[in-house]
A and B are shown apart, each in its own frame.
Chain A
Amino acid sequence: MTALLEVEDLRIAYGKIEAVKGISFKVEAGEVVTLIGTNGAGKTTTLRTISGLLKPVGGQIKFNGRSLRKVPAHQIVSLGLAHSPEGRHIFPRMTIEDNLLLGAFLRNDREGIAKDVQRAYDLFPILGERRRQAAGTLSGGEQQMLAMGRALMSQPKLLMLDEPSMGLSPIMMQKIMATIAELKAQGTTILLVEQNAQAALSLADHGHVMEIGKVVLSGSGQDLLHDESVRKAYLGED
């Protein structure tokens, strides 16, 4: 059986500078896979390339057995791949509800969309309370909820989350991580990029550690969590 997402020897450059230097990993359906690593390791670059916003210089990305090489960015989501970008990138001058509806931009099933909007409000009640408010007025943590809710609105086969806990208070971070655990329990397949290695590895079935454009270590979430070099470099132990 082929994996849902297969990344093979992927290389990505900004001009002449190679930011991702041949990485490979897989995400199986139903799994949570995490990419962790230092600042500038190339995690965001990798996700943006999977979503078609950047074009790779080499390697393969296959989703559901199909190469994404020739698929333009705006068609990726219709294949079942949703991306909640680093820095949240909600649409600040649109209402919370319109942000969610944009997540369902290509769907035509009105009733299903309404149901999923309600589901997002159940998952994050604060969004429902403020549905008519401009999204730019939300706090950082609430914007993160909106970004995740919006990504779920496309009913993705794979949800990519880029640093959902970035810049959040410890309480808000816990809340977001609990939500990811809940999504995992519901069977959502997730590719999670995180600085918070402890939280990410605890959740993940598999993890990959990236350093300056390469995957330097891979293993199960638990193995990496207990790996000595990982503990030193990412979990603040010495």
Chain B
Amino acid sequence: MNELPQQLVNGLLLGSMYGLVAIGYTMVYGIVQLINFAHGEIFMTGGFGALSVWLILPGGTTMWVALPLMIIGAVLVATTVAIGAERFAYRPLRGGPRLAPLITAIGLSLALQQAVWAWYPEAKSARTFPQLSGGPFHIGNVTIQTGDVFLLIAAPVCMAVLAYFVNRTRTGRGMQATAQDPDTAKLMGVNTDRIIVIAFALGAVFAAVGAVAYGLKYGIVDYKMGFLLGLKAFTAAVLGGIGNIYGAMIGGLVLGTAETMATAYINHIPGMQQLGGQSWADVWAFVLLILVLLFRPQGLLGERVADRA
């Protein structure tokens, strides 16, 4: 059992990637009560945005130069897709039946996947993603893989930026007001249509950073990569209390840790030997989702529904 600290760190790193993507679900839901199920594909396009920058750069560019540019590429592509989705897919349906945006989201997801599959060069199977060099790094008994170093830095930085934005800037305050009471926010002078666009865009920024992290961690990007990761991130958002931005990150960390621990240790329990290993990891993630929905549907940090005005 002395590998426990290692598993814990693995879980938290995986979870912080879930958390980065979960922020997009939770922000959009908090503002317009819409589950943007195409968010996983927005994440995926971010990954291809980063890859595209790498492919355009002259061969032999070091990652320390390339990586910042790749992040910018990922952010540009993902926010463009997200803003486009809001403007042309979701906004026309606002005020309509609640099922309409959900169906649209599924259609949009498939369209984005197929577009990348069909048009991105050689994307019919996974494409290799450039890797950081150096490492791995050892801290005591714990090893941090080179690819994970990015997450270790990016996740806390992203959370700090987000907290500052939401609490300390005028637009952030307008965003909180819109989430709590959109009509009254308008009376205060908040342009709520603009706030909705910003929520989509900001969610895409964090998803794009998450996609770069994914590429560095797994060494590939893939037109399907947004499906499962999107579902996990959505699970994280629900786990943390959907609508709560800190909850999204905490939900991600809990989910990543629980999934990693279950994968590593559940087969040590007598009678459950068959349930160990990576192939069961996703099962544990969704078992956790079902448990949360059953016993604490408002999530870890969520308010009870009655508290929402």
Give the B-binding residues of A (Cβ under 8 A). 51-53, 72-78, 82-83, 85, 89, 91-94, 98, 101-103, 105-106, 136, 150, 154
Q: Would A74 and B180 be within 8 Å (CB), given that A52-B186, A89-B309, A105-B174 are in contact?
A: no
Residues of chain A with a CB closer than 8 A to B176's CB: 91, 93-94, 98
Identity of the chain A residue whose Cβ is nearest the Cβ of B170 in the assembled complex: A105
Residues of chain A with a CB closer than 8 A to B185's CB: 102
Contact A78 B189 (CB under 8 A): yes
Name 25 interchain pairs, CB-CB below 8 A, sorted by A. Answer: A53-B183, A53-B187, A73-B183, A73-B187, A74-B189, A74-B191, A74-B192, A75-B189, A77-B189, A82-B187, A85-B187, A89-B309, A91-B176, A91-B180, A91-B181, A92-B307, A93-B176, A93-B303, A94-B176, A94-B180, A101-B173, A102-B174, A102-B185, A105-B170, A136-B307
A91 and B186 CA atoms in complex are apart in Å by 12
A83 and B186 CA atoms in complex are apart in Å by 10
Q: Is B184 an interface residue (CB 8 A)?
A: yes
Contact A105 B186 (CB under 8 A): no
Contact B189 A154 (CB under 8 A): yes
Residues of chain B with a CB closer than 8 A to A77's CB: 187-189
Contact A83 B187 (CB under 8 A): yes
Identity of the chain B residue whose Cβ is nearest the Cβ of A78 in the assembled complex: B189
Identity of the chain B residue whose Cβ is nearest the Cβ of A93 in the assembled complex: B180
Interchain nearest-CB distance for A144 vs B (Å): 14
Contact A98 B173 (CB under 8 A): yes
Residues of chain A with a CB closer than 8 A to B173's CB: 94, 98, 101-102, 105
Residues of chain B with a CB closer than 8 A to A93's CB: 176, 180, 303
Q: Is B190 an interface residue (CB 8 A)?
A: yes
Pick the contact of A73 from B174, B177, B181, B186 — CB < 8 Å?
Answer: B186
A92 and B306 CA atoms in complex are apart in Å by 12
Interchain nearest-CB distance for A119 vs B (Å): 18
Residues of chain B with a CB closer than 8 A to A78's CB: 189
Query: When each residue 185-217 of chain B gets 1 if its CB lies under 8 Å from chain A and 0 otherwise, what string results?
Result: 111111110000000000000000000000000
Query: When each residue 280-309 of chain B gets 1 if its CB lies under 8 Å from chain A and 0 otherwise, what string results?
Result: 000000000000000000000001000101
Identity of the chain A residue whose Cβ is nearest the Cβ of B308 in the assembled complex: A92
Residues of chain B with a CB closer than 8 A to A52's CB: 186
Q: Would A105 and B189 be within 8 Å (CB), given that A89-B309, A92-B309, A98-B173 are in contact?
A: yes
A183 and B183 CA atoms in complex are apart in Å by 26
A45 and B192 CA atoms in complex are apart in Å by 21
7 additional contacts (CB under 8 A) given A73-B183, A93-B303, A101-B173: A53-B186, A74-B192, A75-B189, A91-B176, A92-B307, A94-B173, A98-B173
A78 and B186 CA atoms in complex are apart in Å by 11
Identity of the chain B residue whose Cβ is nearest the Cβ of A87 in the assembled complex: B309
Interchain nearest-CB distance for A146 vs B (Å): 12
Identity of the chain B residue whose Cβ is nearest the Cβ of A102 in the assembled complex: B188
